[in-house]
Chain A
Amino acid sequence: MTDLDRTLLQLVRMPGEERNHEAKRSFPWRVDGSHVDADLFADLRGKVTRTIMALANLPGGGRVVVGVGQEASGRLSADGMPEEHLVGWSTDEVLEHVNKYASPEVRLRVDQVTDETGLRFIIVSVQEFEEVPVVCSNDQSNRKGQSLLRRGATYVRGRKKIESIEISSQTEMRELVGLATQKQLRSMLPYVTQLLQHVKPGPSDAQLFEEQLGESWA
């Protein structure tokens, strides 16, 4: 087992969800329309897509662990994923689907990890947005006709309750705007530094007086 595997397994065994950590029950990413649970899987995929966008808008990003169910008590249960649910869980395939809904595109990586007992899990690591916050660019409804993804919505990780939601408070908006502003300033810093290197301070009062006298009066 590699160090990466050990690290990923630590994530799988986290006791609860955090702002930067979401657990999801097992489901296949690539949905076969003829499957009896196709609608359920499509809904789960939509929820993970929303979570990925919300994590991209969080400082430091986050990850989604798939194959971890939640018991009635709220406790997480690392059940693993059956072979047939591993379909479609690749970085390219997840990116392709998520970026149909995300603008600008999100950056993520998909890893599969197997524990000592043979249980398998998928871990989607999402990076914080690069320049501007990620906004949803397409609609998707669930099987009951309720909105899962809404075009124009900006998803964030809630502060009061750990979930992926549309921005609904000024605190969440300030956090996101603050992060975007920091990034803008950071991206401008090299240019500003370069400019400042060419800006020479003007002559001092003493120098101006000296220049006025010239050599004859020195």
Chain B
Amino acid sequence: MTADKPDELTGTEEILAALRKVGHWRVVIRPTTFERKRISKINGCYELIQGASVSHRGWPYPACIDRGKEAGPEFSGFALAGLEWGILEAWRYFQSGQFVHKFALREDVRTSRQDDEEPGPVLDWIRACHSVAEIFEFAARLSLQGVLPSARIQIQIRGTKGRRLSCSDPRRLFFPPSPCRVPIVEHVVEVTGGDLVSREEELVISAAKEMFAQFLWDPAEAVLRDERQRLMAMRG
């Protein structure tokens, strides 16, 4: 699975179309009750995302750079394709407080493949674990800004059928389990804003365990906790 020249993609619709052709994440974070103008000014949407964005690995979650910025009725957004960095992503944040984000699995959009990589479609479990941790940290930060009193968080990885887990760190001993049997791996949770902040680690571990279970892998909680803490210790 590879995107068709994603570097040349510019508009949100084109990027979303390219995302549909590769394995990708789809994340929806929203309040549990609908209030169309929860955020009174549209400019406030982008500022809120900038304020909550998480940056541990160099590339922020979600990405907020002027190059891909967009705006529309009731939302601020972002869409960018950068093949050289394995980036293909788009998000929107509505005045209702609903955040939707799609981003490609880097494993699927990179142009070069390292010699020792697993053949066939893969999902790097460490990178996946970091993404889950970033998603929950971002949600917790949104909650701290007062726009997420209670939240429904839906995390999906799409294009997973036949995909194997892999490990990008050669120092880690990892025996890839059987390929995933379902096309979409999903985790959904509803929590209060307070729990997002106080139970963040627990929520990350629970989400990662459920998602890896779809790849027939049941990692120890300590492994996932260590990986999250390793991410937190990184500086972007």
- A213 to B74 CA separation, bound complex (whole angstroms): 11
Report A-chain residues with C-beta under 8 Å of the C-beta of B16: 216-217
Interface size bucket, B side?
A: 10 to 19
Q: Which residue of A lies closest to B75 (CB)?
A: A212
Q: Are A208 and B100 in contact (CB under 8 A)?
A: no
- A212 to B28 CA separation, bound complex (whole angstroms): 12
Q: Is A209 an interface residue (CB 8 A)?
A: yes
Number of residues of chain A lying within 8 A (CB) of chain B: 7
- A216 to B102 CA separation, bound complex (whole angstroms): 11
Q: Are A209 and B34 in contact (CB under 8 A)?
A: yes
Q: Are A212 and B32 in contact (CB under 8 A)?
A: no
0 or 1 for each of B18-57: is its CB under 8 Å from A? (1 = yes): 0000000000101011101000000000000000000000
Q: Is A205 an interface residue (CB 8 A)?
A: yes
| A:204-218 near B, CB below 8 Å | 205, 208-209, 212-213, 216-217
Q: Is B164 an interface residue (CB 8 A)?
A: no
Q: Are B96 and A209 in contact (CB under 8 A)?
A: yes
| B:107-151 near A, CB below 8 Å | none
Which secondary structure dominates chain A's binding surface?
helix
Report A-chain residues with C-beta under 8 Å of the C-beta of B32: 205
- A216 to B18 CA separation, bound complex (whole angstroms): 12
Q: Are A217 and B92 in contact (CB under 8 A)?
A: yes
Taking A209-B30, A216-B13, A217-B100 as known contacts, 10 extra A-B pairs with beta carbons closer than 8 A to each other, sorted by chain A number, are A208-B34, A208-B36, A209-B34, A209-B98, A212-B94, A213-B28, A216-B16, A217-B16, A217-B92, A217-B102
Pull 19 A–B residue pairs with CB atoms less than 8 Å apart, ordered by A: A205-B33, A205-B34, A208-B36, A208-B96, A209-B28, A209-B30, A209-B96, A209-B98, A212-B94, A212-B96, A212-B98, A213-B28, A213-B98, A213-B100, A216-B12, A216-B16, A217-B16, A217-B100, A217-B102
B residues near A (Cβ < 8 Å) are 12-13, 16, 28, 30, 32-34, 36, 74, 92, 94, 96, 98, 100, 102
